[in-house]
């Protein structure tokens, strides 16, 4: 299989403003001042994560400023102490993914044993960052109803986000490009950048989103639509930054099941007309999650599982040959007026004027029946496979068009497991590790019941995505913070035809050189039954391609934040190694097309004579 390797390196340097990138963290900053608004230097300022108890403390600078960077999204408590002033506390400060929350502390004169608590909401304006973005917070992620529980559908709440085809609902049972098919900020669909805990979700193959986290595994996410910072690259639209749920000092969990079925559904008008009955419809989504402490205030876990099963009937209405036609008997081959369409013998051609082929004519088969001795043996084997199902409805008057109707179940299955661990090694070091595995299968669609599987949009595709993330944040000093993040993502993708392995030479009688195709492809088995497309009458080819792909993404993202006076300077790099091994043949058995010219009265002017069958 062809192999493609890409090494990508980005070196962003951001200065003079607070900016947070693929590391998904947030920050709290502000100024400590006295009742006259004069700055207070040397005050002890601390922030505590209400969920995990993790605490950081620094001294305010000479101009009263303080900044806490690389904070895990969550709720925090800010405390300020200084001799001669009352103890200052502000609780329930919501730090969102990639947010910079300004909290200015106005101290009151008094004894340090006295305290003042401030209750206020987090400011809506993010004045520390010029990027245009919006957070879909944890309450929205958990509370808003989602058909198929596709958390990325909530991105549509953000102005400037336009979903494209198949983006809505659960992506299982759809084309693999559906999951990230959004236009953001006027950019091209499927060309945005998406991150999960700072790890890229997009891969080399078409920049598709290889992983779609379950609703219960996502804490919140931010959609950046414009004016993004320099640490982002490789996109032409916007940036979606998701953060996973983490455990806290409280043990919590849940289990759920959402079920829909066809019990109360009615059959469609066309299904009733053809007697096909009520289509299948079942959607079952179930799972559970749990999180809590392993070692209080130090080590936490969170894990989730979700399964998805969907079957939705689609009515396929096709035109197939009659049993008589499959033996060469076209006595019942009629046009829309009920007149017989004659079938001509191609070997009876006579040309009164050899210099004018338009004068050539042929003789019709007696009784409109092709003698059995003239049936091609390869064609007979293809028909006997059988290539087509027999009619199961009357079809249109005279022509018998649309004489086959069948409800076939489409949809698919997926299973996703997420596990995350957070370890507060010390006041200076924090480690995060996450593992995610997603198995997704599109239901094979066997229209004729002969093993042929339908192609797009119902191809029998399957993929497995595995992602591992390890992040280490180390605080050298209150003004110097290093974050190193490593991630690996593997996406294994297959599309397997139902008749894969057919030897067209031995089974059907094709020339012997057809047996060389697998070796020429470098992939065995790689041939199937051929697809036969016929016009006059129109009989569509059924079949799907063969696809095998493995896409590996290695990412290393070190960032160093340096607070210098009024400025926050951030240095970093994003190193990628992308490997793509890919094989695809959309017609592994070949596609053969036939029209009515060969059995018409004149091949240059066939008119309404002859048949492609």
Q: What is the mean pLDDT of residues 366-372?
A: 96
At 18 the pLDDT is: 42
DSSP string covering 292-346, please?
Answer: EEEETTTEEEEEEEEEEEEEEEEEEEE----TTGGGTB-TT-B-TTSPBPP-EEE
* Cβ within 8 Å of residue 176, ≥6 positions away: 208, 461, 463, 493
321, 539 Cβ separation under 8 angstroms: yes
Q: Cα-atom radius of gyration of the chain, to the nearest Å?
A: 33
Beta strands in 100-147 (DSSP E): 100-102, 105-106, 115-118, 132-136
* Cβ within 8 Å of residue 591, ≥6 positions away: 530, 531, 532, 533, 541, 543
At 14 the pLDDT is: 45
Residue 4: is its pLDDT beyond 80?
A: no
37, 25 Cβ separation under 8 angstroms: no
Residue 13: is its pLDDT beyond 80?
A: no
Residue 456: is its pLDDT beyond 60?
A: yes
361, 349 Cβ separation under 8 angstroms: yes
At 20 the pLDDT is: 40
At 320 the pLDDT is: 95
For the ranges 140-144, 212-216, 418-422, which has the lowest average pLDDT? 140-144
Question: What sign has the CA pseudo-torsion 142, 147, 149, 154?
Answer: negative
Distance of CA 521 to the CA centre of its chain: 29
Residue 11: is its pLDDT beyond 70?
A: no
Residue 9: is its pLDDT beyond 60?
A: no
Please give the Cα distance from 87 to 79 (Å, whole number).
7
Locate 21 and state its tokens. 């990138």
457-512 pLDDT per residue, tens: 788 999 999 999 999 999 999 889 999 999 999 999 999 999 999 999 999 999 99
Integer CA distances (angstroms), 540 to 320, 402, 471, 591, in order: 9, 11, 53, 11
Q: What is the mean pLDDT of residues 340-345?
A: 96
522-547 pLDDT per residue, tens: 888 999 999 899 998 999 888 899 99
- Mean predicted lDDT score pLDDT of the chain: 88
At 1 the pLDDT is: 46
Residue 5: is its pLDDT beyond 90?
A: no
Please give the Cα distance from 560 to 474 (Å, whole number).
10
Of residues 24 and 321, more confidence is placed in 321
**Cis? peptide before 553, omega within 30° of 0:** no
Q: What is the mean pLDDT of residues 253-263?
A: 89
288, 253 Cβ separation under 8 angstroms: yes
190-199 pLDDT per residue, tens: 889 999 999 9
Q: What is the mean pLDDT of residues 213-229?
A: 86
Please give the Cα distance from 424 to 226 (Å, whole number).
34
At 78 the pLDDT is: 93
Confidence tier at 267 by pLDDT (50, 70, 90): confident
At 224 the pLDDT is: 86
As a whole-number percent, the residues of the chain with pLDDT over 90 amount to 58
At 310 the pLDDT is: 92
570, 13 Cβ separation under 8 angstroms: yes
Please give the Cα distance from 291 to 305 (Å, whole number).
12
Please give the Cα distance from 536 to 532 (Å, whole number).
13
Confidence tier at 98 by pLDDT (50, 70, 90): confident
Please give the Cα distance from 306 to 501 (Å, whole number).
35
Residue 447: is its pLDDT beyond 90?
A: yes
**H or E, element range at 521:** helix 517-521
Confidence tier at 124 by pLDDT (50, 70, 90): very low
Q: Residue 467: which region, alpha, beta or left (left: phi > 0; alpha: psi -120 to 50)? A: beta
At 357 the pLDDT is: 83
At 565 the pLDDT is: 81
128-186 pLDDT per residue, tens: 555 667 777 777 777 788 888 898 898 888 888 999 988 888 888 888 888 889 998 88
At 608 the pLDDT is: 93
Residue 555: is its pLDDT beyond 90?
A: yes
């Amino acid at each position: 299989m062809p192999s493609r390797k890409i090494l990508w390196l980005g070196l962003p340097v951001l200065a003079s403003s607070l900016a947070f990138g693929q590391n998904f963290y947030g920050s709290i900053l502000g100024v400590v001042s006295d009742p006259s608004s004069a700055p207070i230097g040397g005050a002890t300022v601390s922030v505590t994560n209400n969920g995990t108890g993790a605490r950081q403390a620094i001294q305010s600078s000479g101009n009263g400023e303080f900044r806490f960077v690389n904070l895990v999204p969550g709720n925090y408590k800010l405390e300020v102490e200084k001799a001669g002033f009352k103890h200052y506390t502000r609780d329930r400060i919501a730090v969102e993914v990639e947010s910079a929350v300004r909290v200015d502390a106005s101290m009151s004169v008094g004894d340090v044993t006295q305290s003042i608590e401030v209750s206020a909401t987090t400011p809506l304006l993010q004045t520390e960052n010029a990027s245009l973005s919006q957070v879909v917070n944890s309450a929205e992620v958990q509370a808003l109803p989602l058909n198929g529980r596709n958390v990325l559908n909530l991105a549509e709440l953000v102005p400037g986000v336009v979903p494209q085809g198949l983006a809505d609902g659960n992506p299982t049972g759809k084309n693999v490009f559906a999951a990230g098919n959004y236009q953001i900020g006027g950019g091209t669909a499927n060309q945005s950048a998406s991150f999960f805990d700072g790890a890229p979700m997009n891969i080399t193959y078409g920049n598709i989103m290889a992983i779609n986290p379950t609703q219960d595994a996502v804490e919140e996410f931010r959609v950046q639509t414009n004016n993004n910072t320099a640490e982002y690259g490789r996109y032409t639209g916007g940036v979606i930054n998701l953060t996973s749920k983490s455990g806290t000092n409280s043990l919590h969990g849940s289990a759920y099941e959402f079920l829909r079925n066809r019990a109360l559904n009615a059959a469609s008008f066309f299904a009733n007309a053809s007697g096909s009955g009520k289509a299948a419809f079942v959607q079952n989504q179930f799972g559970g999650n749990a999180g809590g402490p392993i070692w209080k205030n130090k080590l936490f876990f969170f894990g989730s599982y979700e399964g998805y099963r969907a079957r939705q009937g689609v009515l396929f209405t096709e035109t197939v040959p009659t049993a008589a036609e499959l033996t060469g008997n076209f006595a019942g081959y009629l046009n829309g007026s009920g007149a017989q369409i004659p079938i001509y013998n191609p070997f009876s051609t006579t040309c009164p004027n050899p210099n004018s082929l338009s004068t050539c004519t042929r003789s019709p088969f007696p009784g409109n029946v092709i003698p059995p001795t003239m049936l091609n043996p390869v064609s007979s084997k293809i028909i006997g496979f059988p290539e087509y199902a027999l009619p199961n409805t009357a079809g249109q008057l005279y022509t018998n068009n649309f004489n086959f109707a069948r409800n076939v179940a489409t949809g698919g299955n997926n299973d996703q497991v997420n596990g995350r661990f957070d370890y507060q090694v010390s006041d200076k070091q924090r480690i995060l590790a996450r593992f995610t595995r997603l198995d997704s299968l599109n239901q094979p669609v066997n229209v004729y019941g002969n093993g042929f599987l339908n192609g797009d949009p119902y191809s029998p595709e399957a993929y497995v995505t595995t992602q591992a993330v390890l992040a280490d944040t180390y605080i050298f000093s209150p003004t110097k913070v290093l974050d190193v993040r490593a991630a690996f993502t593997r996406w294994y993708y297959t599309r397997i035809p139902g008749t894969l392995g057919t030897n067209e030479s031995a089974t059907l009688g094709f020339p012997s050189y057809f047996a060389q195709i697998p070796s020429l492809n470098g992939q065995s088995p790689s041939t199937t039954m051929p697809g036969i497309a016929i016009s006059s009458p129109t009989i569509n080819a059924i079949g799907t391609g063969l696809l095998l792909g493995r896409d590996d993404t290695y990412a290393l993202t070190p960032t160093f934040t340096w607070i210098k006076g009024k400025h926050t300077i951030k240095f970093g790099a994003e190193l990628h190694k992308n490997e793509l091994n890919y094989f695809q043949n959309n017609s592994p058995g070949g596609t053969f097309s036939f029209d009515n010219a060969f059995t018409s009265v004149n091949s240059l002017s066939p008119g309404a004579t002859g048949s492609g069958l």
